Amino acid sequence: MVSAAKTAFTQPEHSFCMVHVKDSVRQHLTAIGTATGLLENVVSRLFGCSGIAELADASEEDDRTAELMQFVRQQNVDAIDYVQRCVLPTIKNNNQIKW
C-alpha cells in the first residue's frame, strides 16, 4: 500500500506509525526466538523515551544508532539485517520529517 501511495502522490512525505513499527519489531523478534529481556531492551533502545525514534534532533542519531547496533551484535540477536534494512530506515524517515 505504501508503494501505491508513493506512486499516486509523489510530493507528500510518508510518515509511518511508530506503534505499528514497534509491534512489527516485537513480532519479528519473537518469531526468531529472541529472549524476552533482550527483546525489550532492543525495543526500548529503538522506541523508548530516550530511544532513536524519540530523538529531538539529528545530533544524537548516529551515536544512538551505533550503540544499538553494537548491542545487537554483542548479544548475537539474529535481527541485525532486519534492524538495518527495515527498522532504522523507517525511524530515520520519520525523524527527518519530524525535524
Residue 27 sits at φ, ψ, to 5 deg, of -65, -45
The structure's pTM equals 0.80
Alpha helices in 9-87 (DSSP H): 18-31, 36-47, 61-74, 80-82
- Which residues touch 51 (CB under 8 Å, ≥6 apart)? 44, 45, 64
The arithmetic mean of pLDDT across residues 55-71, rounded, is 90
> pLDDT at position 79, please?
86
pLDDT more than 90, % of the chain: 59
